Chain A
């Protein structure tokens, strides 16, 4: 779930000083709230240096705020827009450009103390637009100060559109690229009923008949990160990360912590299964088993003392293995254990969850 929520509240390591903030963001903002209340997660991300910097809210101020030496004062709508579009209501969530501006006004003054020196969240009244705002039809009275932003977070975190958007993304991640609407409805209802309790919301997905049904078994293609993790796990390997592994992820199209747009990585097969990337998955399987991933140790012989095809399929693929793949693999025999395992890790079946 840390991966899911990091991706939902994506920040990109390569944007200037962001690299110094990402580690703490994952550890202190995402992880503690991954099974908590959505509202707390949303607020924590809104006040995190990583998000304030990535989506520029730390620069956003009332147009009449005192000028700073290197820039003119003024509103920056970047975070406000993504807060509505990507973090809560969704792009079809019914908000207007005016709502974006009003949310941005509410969040003026939510900035960083000592931005060049690792400072944390601070509210600066002098940057804040203290006038009245109207967000999604609701009046936020003048003079609220820091509370304007809290009011916006509370409103968005409990909005039915947010429930629906989060439910859709969870079903997209765990069930299918095109999840059944009835399931999304039920999960959204749990989100609303539990005041955005993420543990209960995720449980609603994972205990649903749809999730457990044969129809959706193996419906999802693994992301490159899932493929790398599941490959190493499947062969009982150990990894300390390392640059060759990161480079492999990069070549498969999913550089770690480096998703450029705030949307995060896509959760659909068409984003991951292109020619070049698929060939890279196969190259990765071979390289992993040949011990070419520096910092990662795998020993095929430990899980597969002899190159026994049936045993290898049983351990790695189980019942997922198609008759065609089994037949193709048997034509490749005899091969060494590590080569056999490499072929299985590159099989179409292993690319699916």
Chain B
């Protein structure tokens, strides 16, 4: 596996920095706000791209990657366990939920790996706290207000407006902070709605030389709009026969592909998918959600083809669900969960992490899958080995990132 030096984010940022060096210097001296982040809105750049997918609501990891050889799983989930004959076996012990069938060939072709029993050292079972902790990558610490992805960007700032994009209405916590990031819910309708002439009027007002945060942001916004329109004109045609589901998440994945292929210098893409808080009658709805989830991610993989060599997809969820099913055919909030990691550089076809077991004495607080891999080591491995960050300690405040704790899903 040979790295193309021109493609690494470090070089990209250096190159862009040189191009904008003078402006950046002046800006940093005059204004801590927008000038320091005035952007180059139309670079022609391709580098590595990290795609993070948040499954909000705590997906039932024990249904995604089923421990079908563990008797406790069938004993405690009499009503909702995935029958052994339906599980898509991976290694004789674990297997995929049948709705995750699109992931099976990726696992077999070794571009998909699983990190099992991962999660937070904090024992909260509150969605909102746990999401917060995961996106801030600071479990138990509420005074960290920026997100881990934004802090990563801060370790090597560059001026590219399209460096980080969330395909959501609001920037997720993981991307918020001092570094610029775009929230683009729809690449097709990014801009001022309500007619060309209104947009032109606003653009003129914001493109004056006044140097304050509004004018600066306005200018960068209109540049971004213009760039997107230029690069993404016409209807999008997925490659390699990729077929995105029609739902919101499928469309998010398609837009990630569009942005990657537009060579805008995208480095971080964030997407999210909800509907996992399955407290009651989870069988059918969960199967449906998982199907859309897997088809969408697999379509992105298919569509990007060879580009997957420089793309890493990581999925995450705030915590897992309780081993024992509850009284209404669902599962309550639990602890440990799993991540999927997908990409050309992933050492796939394997399940990483230490399996803590499901026997009563092995469960966390006597009820949940225990966590044996801190989620920061999963994220940290991506930051260090994929994004090649040299100062990753700034990304995970209060946590000593040790390569020997990485699970090794990347070479």
Tell me the A residues contacting B by CB distance below 8 Å. 12, 14-15, 56, 72, 78, 81-82, 85, 91, 221, 250-251, 253, 255, 260-263, 269-271, 273-279, 282-283, 286-287, 290, 322, 324-325, 328-329, 331-332, 335, 339, 342-343, 346-348, 351-352
| A286-B198, A329-B205 known; A276 vs B190 contact (CB < 8 Å) | yes
Q: CB of B178 within 8 A of chain A?
A: yes
| A275-B220, A286-B194, A348-B206 known; A253 vs B170 contact (CB < 8 Å) | yes
Contact A81 B178 (CB under 8 A): no
Contact A260 B142 (CB under 8 A): no
Contact A278 B128 (CB under 8 A): no
Q: Which of A85, A276, A290 contacts B194 (CB 8 A)?
A: A290
Contact A278 B214 (CB under 8 A): yes
| Cα–Cα distance between A260 and B176 once the two chains are bound (Å) | 13
**CB closest chain-A residue, reference B37:** A270
Q: CB of B288 within 8 A of chain A?
A: no
Contacts of A253 in B (CB 8 A): 170-171, 183
Q: CB of B90 within 8 A of chain A?
A: no
| A85-B143, A261-B132 known; A274 vs B180 contact (CB < 8 Å) | yes
| A273-B214, A276-B182, A348-B214 known; A85 vs B193 contact (CB < 8 Å) | no
| Cα–Cα distance between A182 and B195 once the two chains are bound (Å) | 48
Contacts of A91 in B (CB 8 A): 143
Segment 182-200 of B: residues with Cβ below 8 Å from A: 182-185, 190-195, 197-199
Contact B169 A339 (CB under 8 A): no
| Cα–Cα distance between A329 and B200 once the two chains are bound (Å) | 11
Contacts of A269 in B (CB 8 A): 33, 213
Segment 64-86 of B: residues with Cβ below 8 Å from A: none
Q: CB of B126 within 8 A of chain A?
A: yes
| Cα–Cα distance between A81 and B202 once the two chains are bound (Å) | 45
| Cα–Cα distance between A262 and B218 once the two chains are bound (Å) | 30
Contact A286 B218 (CB under 8 A): no
Q: CB of B161 within 8 A of chain A?
A: yes
Contacts of B190 in A (CB 8 A): 276, 279
Contacts of B191 in A (CB 8 A): 279
Contact A279 B221 (CB under 8 A): yes
The 4 closest A-B pairs by CB, nearest first: A286-B194, A275-B221, A276-B183, A324-B208
Contacts of B181 in A (CB 8 A): 274
Q: CB of B263 within 8 A of chain A?
A: no
| A263-B145, A276-B184, A287-B193 known; A221 vs B220 contact (CB < 8 Å) | no
Q: Which of B176, B197, B210 contacts A322 (CB 8 A)?
A: B210
Contact B178 A287 (CB under 8 A): no
| Additional A-B contacts beyond A15-B126, A85-B142 (12; CB < 8 A) | A72-B365, A78-B126, A250-B169, A250-B170, A260-B128, A274-B217, A275-B161, A278-B217, A324-B210, A348-B205, A348-B218, A351-B214
| A270-B33, A274-B181, A278-B214 known; A328 vs B201 contact (CB < 8 Å) | yes
Tell me the B residues contacting A by CB distance below 8 Å. 33-34, 126-129, 131-132, 142-143, 145, 161, 169-171, 173, 176, 178, 180-185, 190-195, 197-199, 201-202, 204-206, 208-210, 212-215, 217-218, 220-221, 224-225, 365
| A324-B210, A346-B202 known; A278 vs B170 contact (CB < 8 Å) | no
A-B contact pairs, 11 of them (CB 8 A): A275-B180, A275-B182, A276-B182, A279-B225, A282-B192, A322-B208, A325-B208, A342-B194, A343-B202, A347-B205, A348-B212
| Cα–Cα distance between A91 and B175 once the two chains are bound (Å) | 22
| Cα–Cα distance between A147 and B129 once the two chains are bound (Å) | 29
| A85-B143, A283-B192 known; A278 vs B205 contact (CB < 8 Å) | no
| Cα–Cα distance between A171 and B182 once the two chains are bound (Å) | 30
| Cα–Cα distance between A282 and B193 once the two chains are bound (Å) | 8
Contact A221 B205 (CB under 8 A): no
| Cα–Cα distance between A111 and B210 once the two chains are bound (Å) | 54
Which of B131, B132, B204 gathers most chain A CB within 10 Å? B204
Contact A262 B142 (CB under 8 A): yes
Contact B213 A270 (CB under 8 A): yes
A106 to chain B, nearest CB (A): 20
Contact A328 B213 (CB under 8 A): no
| A273-B214, A274-B180, A348-B218 known; A78 vs B129 contact (CB < 8 Å) | yes
Contacts of B210 in A (CB 8 A): 322, 324, 348
Contact A274 B171 (CB under 8 A): yes
A293 to chain B, nearest CB (A): 12
| Cα–Cα distance between A261 and B183 once the two chains are bound (Å) | 19
**CB closest chain-B residue, reference A77:** B140
Contacts of B184 in A (CB 8 A): 276
**CB closest chain-B residue, reference A344:** B205
| Cα–Cα distance between A108 and B146 once the two chains are bound (Å) | 31
Q: Which of A15, A221, A279, A283 contacts B128 (CB 8 A)?
A: A15
A259 to chain B, nearest CB (A): 11
Contacts of A72 in B (CB 8 A): 365
Contacts of A348 in B (CB 8 A): 205-206, 210, 212, 214-215, 218
| Cα–Cα distance between A262 and B127 once the two chains are bound (Å) | 13
Q: Which of A15, A274, A282, A325 contacts B182 (CB 8 A)?
A: A274
A284 to chain B, nearest CB (A): 9
B52 to chain A, nearest CB (A): 18
| Cα–Cα distance between A85 and B181 once the two chains are bound (Å) | 28
A167 to chain B, nearest CB (A): 20
Contacts of A282 in B (CB 8 A): 192, 198-199, 202
